[in-house]
């Protein structure tokens, strides 16, 4: 598939490299596509990787990964031009975090709305699937845990889009659990806070969620 990635932080680079290694065509979008970090990522990610502006990455992808700092997400979408997203599958990996010196991060939007729903409202013609927000970047590709693979919780309003995202996640080593419509982002974003809070409390970052069933 052609996959555009918005955001060149650890999440964008990790997912981008994972997809490129599985021979998807990946274009990384950045405000500064000629930066050393981006150029180096393209070199390391191999022949199916390239970089461009946010507009170019969004235009390129049939699937577009939003991997931006929450406070820059609306700007990234504006720079990419909202029309570039029409009809496309958006993987929303963001968490709407608010950072303040000396205190724990908080959910900027709270609990009666969510970043996933906000993005779907900003891009009504796109098919937003919330995914990868409840896992650490270090384990986004080929997660290996003693108890077997963890679960990737996803949600979104479009079933076809979720099937495509589940297939992509499976290629990266993730079984998925579908929680329903994009309104379930109200659950997945606090779950990410649980993941973050456990990391801060224990000083460890090698944990992931799995639903046990019998
Ligand atoms: N880190 C994790 O383990 C993890 C796990 C799950 C979810 N998340 C979420 O995934 C997202 C990405 O996290 P990250 O740690 O990879 O990266 P990050 O450092 O939060 O930033 C990612 C990218 O956002 C873009 N950005 C920042 N400010 C912007 C602005 N004003 N306008 C437009 N773009 C802007 C930048 O792209 P350019 O500089 O290239 O333009 C930057 O590379 C966040 O929402 C985070 O909460 C993170």
Q: How much distance in Å is there from the Cα of 15 to the middle of ligand 1?
A: 12
Place of tokens 């992931």: 208
pLDDT band (50, 70, 90) for residue 152: very high
Q: What is the pLDDT of residues 28-44, one digit of tens each?
A: 999 999 999 999 999 99
pLDDT at 176 over 90: yes
Mutation probe of ligand 1 site: the residue of 4, 6, 9 with most atoms within 8 A of C-beta? 9
Please compute the mean of the pLDDT values over residues 172-179 and round it to a whole number. Answer: 98
Is the CB of residue 93 below 6 angstroms from any atom belonging to ligand 1?
Answer: yes
Q: How much distance in Å is there from the Cα of 213 to the middle of ligand 1?
A: 34
In ligand 1, the atom with minimum distance to the C-alpha of 134 is 6
pTM > 0.95: yes
173: number of Cβ within 10 Å? 16
Please give the share of the chain, as a percent, with pLDDT higher than 90.
Answer: 98
Is the CB of residue 67 below 6 angstroms from any atom belonging to ligand 1?
Answer: yes
pLDDT band (50, 70, 90) for residue 147: confident
Q: How much distance in Å is there from the Cα of 158 to the middle of ligand 1?
A: 25
């Amino acid at each position: 598939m052609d996959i555009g990635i918005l955001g060149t932080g650890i999440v964008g680079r990790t997912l981008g490299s994972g997809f490129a290694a599985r021979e998807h065509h990946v274009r990384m979008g950045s405000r500064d596509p000629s930066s050393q970090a981006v150029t180096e990522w393209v070199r390391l990610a191999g022949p199916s990787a390239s970089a461009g502006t946010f507009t170019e990455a969004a235009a390129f992808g049939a699937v577009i990964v939003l991997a931006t700092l929450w406070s820059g997400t609306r700007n990234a979408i504006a720079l990419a031009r909202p029309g570039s997203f029409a009809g496309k599958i958006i993987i929303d990996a963001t968490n709407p975090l608010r950072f303040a010196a000396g205190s724990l991060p908080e959910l900027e939007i709270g609990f009666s709305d969510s970043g996933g729903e906000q993005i779907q409202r900003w891009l009504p013609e796109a098919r937003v699937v919330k995914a990868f927000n409840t896992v650490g970047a270090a384990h986004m590709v080929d997660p290996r845990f003693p108890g077997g693979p963890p679960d990737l919780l996803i949600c979104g309003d479009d079933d076809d889009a979720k099937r495509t995202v589940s297939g992509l996640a499976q290629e990266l080593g993730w079984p998925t659990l579908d929680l329903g419509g994009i309104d379930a982002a109200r659950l997945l974003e606090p779950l990410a806070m649980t993941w973050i809070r456990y990391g801060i409390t224990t000083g460890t970052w090698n944990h992931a969620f799995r639903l046990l069933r019998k």
